[in-house]
Amino acid sequence: MTVSYKQLGLVNSVDIFKKAVKGGYAIPGYNFSQMEQLQAVIQACVESESPVILQISSGARKYANQTLLRYMAQGAVEYAKELHKSHKAIPIVLHLDHGDTFELCKSCIDFGFSSVMIDGSHHPYDKNVELTKKVVEYAHSRPDYVSVEGELGVLAGVEDDVHAAEHIYTRPEEVQDFVKKTGVDSLAIAIGTSHGAYKFPPGAKPQIRLDILAEIEKKLPGFPIVLHGSSSVPQDYVDLVNKYGGKMPNAVGIPESQLREASKSSVCKINIDSDGRLVMTGTVREYFSRTLIISILVS
């Protein structure tokens, strides 16, 4: 059974990216796999009148079930209307994060996702182009036009099924050719962000390569750019995790000042996953620790 994302009240990313690039801001791409995360994201985005991209990794898709996730996204649309003071829906995109095969992307498109990422960055350049183009042709051939994100360059770090030992920065000289040959709607680049809660080595200055971003923007003026691995890793939540039995030494994220600077360019989506996990982990650890103490005192 094929489902159109429009039946679920969702939108693709094309129009909201155009507005973001023109307005000099970025839209949050939040990964989620459970109801509590989704509630928090929708509440915050309705409060701030922000569009939002709800992202599902391949690991989350396996864990939470693709069909359930689809209807959770539909529920998020209705929940947003309920929360909004004028009962209007904020633009909500349901996006596959780091799809690595055509079959996975096709399945998500057929199940009502309004956007997919095909990550061929682990392949040689020509193979990446070939795979990405195949996904684009299928996604764009649908009557509802599903948007597609491609990737050039490799981010270091580990997150779900995505892992790499070291950075491979995006080469500005390749971006025009890649976009022209594949027809992608947006491009994820590697400029020093990384997956997970350890973005930089201990003692290193947290710094992303805004110079590479500037070169890419010159090659692709006004084209939507995406930054993965962009959690800021708030230290108060790192401290909370460590206070209640966790061990996260030297956890550090991307400085928010640098993310804001990047957002003034063509960066129109900033992906956030580790921050959500960090908040959940710290809060759950604190709750169980306090509950255990109360239980001991009562008994």
* Per-residue pLDDT tens over the stretch 157-203: 554 555 444 568 999 999 999 999 999 999 999 998 887 888 787 77
Under 8 Å between Cβ of 10 and 94: yes
- Say what angle helices 35-47 and 274-298 make with each other, to 10 degrees: 120
CA dist 130 and 220 (Å) reads 20
Question: What is the per-residue pLDDT for 131?
Answer: 99
Phi/psi for 293 (5° steps) reads: -65, -45
Q: pLDDT per residue over 110-137, tens digit each? A: 999 999 999 999 999 999 999 999 999 9
Q: Give the integer Cα–Cα distance in Å for 285 and 257.
A: 29
Q: Which residues are catalytic?
A: 97
Query: Residues with Cβ < 8 Å from 273, sequence gap 6 or more?
Result: 30, 31, 55, 57, 159, 195, 231
Please compute the mean of the pLDDT values over residues 21-41 and round it to a whole number. Answer: 94
What secondary structure letter does DSSP report for 265? T
Domains of the chain: 5-234+249-271 (3.20.20.70)
Give 58-84 pLDDT, tens digit per residue: 888 988 888 888 899 999 999 999 999
DSSP 198: B
The two structure tokens encoding residue 220:
């692709």
